[in-house]
Chains A and B, each alone.
Chain A
Amino acid sequence: MKLIVNGQALEIDASTLAELLAALDYEGDWLATAVNSDLVHRVNRAEFQLSDGDRIEILSPMQGG
């Protein structure tokens, strides 16, 4: 499946958001995820089905003013 993850085009075998995170070696409870500009809650990642062309943002805490 073709996905855009944090702005980068990837060809990856993952049907759900949780599978995508695992495939890319993301782990931890400090991550926030959005698909096509909408938040996907942590508890919904396992059942959230991805579609070809989806844009995924994976964010974590960072310094800010």
Chain B
Amino acid sequence: MFELLGTTLPSRLFLGTAQYPSPAILADAVQASGTSVVTVSLRREMAGGRDGEKFWSLIRSLGTRILPNTAGCHSVKEAVTTAKMAREVFGTSWIKLEVIGNHDTLQPDVFGLVEAARILCDDGFAVFPYTTDDLVAAERLLEAGCMVLMPWCAPIGSALGPVNIPALRSMRAHFPGVPLIVDAGLGRPSHAATVMELGFDAVLLNTAVARAADPVGMARAFGKAVDAGREAFLSGMLEPRDVAVPSTPTIGRAVFS
């Protein structure tokens, strides 16, 4: 169980809903992963169209919490307006706040992110900021009113996994009481297990599941990896050593010479 912002979540895996081969596979993947939070977005609806209605019906049938995002926003104004529109449509004050600063890396614009976070927190939103592993940016986001941080571990969709583990470790150590959710860059279940072993509270991923050859199987695998990593963190892992240490007791062994 994961206590987050006064809500009890059965799973520490947050799953994106984009890029699946079909709506049915998306639904099956959500089920297999055990996730209790899915991310969604808002896009232009063409005149007379019903695309949004179909997707919205599907999402509501999943029975999970919804975390809308501001994906694709490159300015504070865009992100703030999109967040407000999402709150009206989805009926939740949770918002995954993205303010993108670079077209190639999709790196967050942390300056715009802090500004937008302050506006939205003041307006009653529960802001989940998609940020980097920069500690100063993290502090500013907390000062702006964020109760959760969502650092990347690698660029969105890159599948690189945690490329800067010391930075993630440092972030965990600096903000012991803040829910930290690794968002973006995870490629395989072992990546998810690794960041959970570091003490991160949850992970958010999309492409690694949706683009797998078998998204449903991969969703299940990620669910297990997240659980395993969390349990390992709670169980206290052995630190690496430079020397061999026998695991079999040496006391009482026979002497033949």
Contact = CB atoms under 8 A, between A and B. Distances in A.
A55 B82 CA distance: 15
A2 B248 CA distance: 83
A58 to B, nearest CB: 6
Contacts of B4: none
Contacts of B56: 30, 60-61
A58 B88 contact: no
A59 B68 CA distance: 13
Given A24-B47, A26-B48, A32-B86, A60 B16 contact: no
B134 to A, nearest CB: 21
A10 to B, nearest CB: 9
Interface string A1-43: 0000111000000000000000011101011111001110110
B233 interface: no
Nearest to A57: B44
A39 B48 contact: no
B97 to A, nearest CB: 13
B85 A64 contact: no
B41 A60 contact: no
Interface residues on A, range: 20 to 34
Interface in B35-94: 39-53, 55-56, 59, 68-69, 71, 77-78, 81-82, 84-86, 88-90
B68 A64 contact: yes
B48 A25 contact: yes
Contacts of A41: 88
B41 A31 contact: no
B40 A26 contact: no
A34 B156 CA distance: 28
Residue among B16, B43, B45, B53 with most chain A CB within 10 A: B45
B40 A63 contact: yes
25 contacts: A5-B47, A26-B45, A28-B50, A28-B53, A32-B42, A32-B88, A33-B85, A34-B85, A58-B44, A59-B42, A59-B45, A59-B82, A59-B85, A60-B51, A61-B41, A61-B89, A62-B52, A64-B16, A64-B39, A64-B41, A64-B71, A65-B16, A65-B19, A65-B39, A65-B206
Given A37-B77, A37-B78, A65-B207, 9 more contacts: A26-B48, A39-B85, A57-B44, A59-B85, A60-B51, A61-B41, A61-B42, A61-B56, A65-B19
A-B interface, 6 closest residue pairs, ranked by CB to CB distance from nearest: A60-B52, A64-B41, A65-B16, A65-B206, A32-B85, A60-B45
